[in-house]
Amino acid sequence: MKRNEFIGKVDERLRMVRAEYDFNQEKMAEILGISKKTLVQIEKGRSSLGWTGAVALCTIFARSEILNAAFGGDTTDIILALAFEGEEPDYPKTLGGKVWWKTLEQSGHYKIQQNIISQHYRILDREDRRICASFELEKMKNTLRGFVEKEE
């Protein structure tokens, strides 16, 4: 997934998220920091939230069932994978992939998991702490090998 695909998926669900929270257009526009006119244009498919707006929507409405179903759980992983391409921040502990994830490979104290909805990958350590996230499986496999080699 690329940023533009992520933004498109969020744009398409803006109206549904607004309905899920029972907000009118005026209130939703205020929450997102955009004009009502801009919100209407986005909902009609004539404009876009853009990267900042999509991240804001997903962050503010992180518990949205609409967004969680569309992206396979919390969108934070996807946002971080897209935002930090080539960089790896220190991630917090996860639930270990009990929902939305399948384990593809396990080596040493690490495992590669793939999100069943968004198809992005992540590596977890023995404490289920996210080490990195990416949409590139080969990159993840190389990173996993590097971690395992350091352990040996």
pLDDT band per the 50, 70, 90 thresholds, residue 87: low
Segment 94-121 mean pLDDT: 87
- Tell me what percent of the chain is helix, strand and coil, each rounded to the nearest 5: 50, 15, 35
**pLDDT tens digits for range 61-84:** 999 999 999 998 888 888 988 888
CATH value of 3-71 in 3.40.50.450, 1.10.260.40, 3.40.50.720, 3.30.450.20: 1.10.260.40
Query: Tell me, what's the pLDDT at 122?
Result: 92
Query: Tell me, what's the pLDDT at 120?
Result: 93
Task: Note if the pTM is more than 0.75.
Answer: no
Q: Select from 147, 151, 118 the least CA-distant residue to 130.
A: 147
Query: Tell me, what's the pLDDT at 68?
Result: 92
Q: Give the pairing of strands 101-107 and 121-124.
A: unpaired
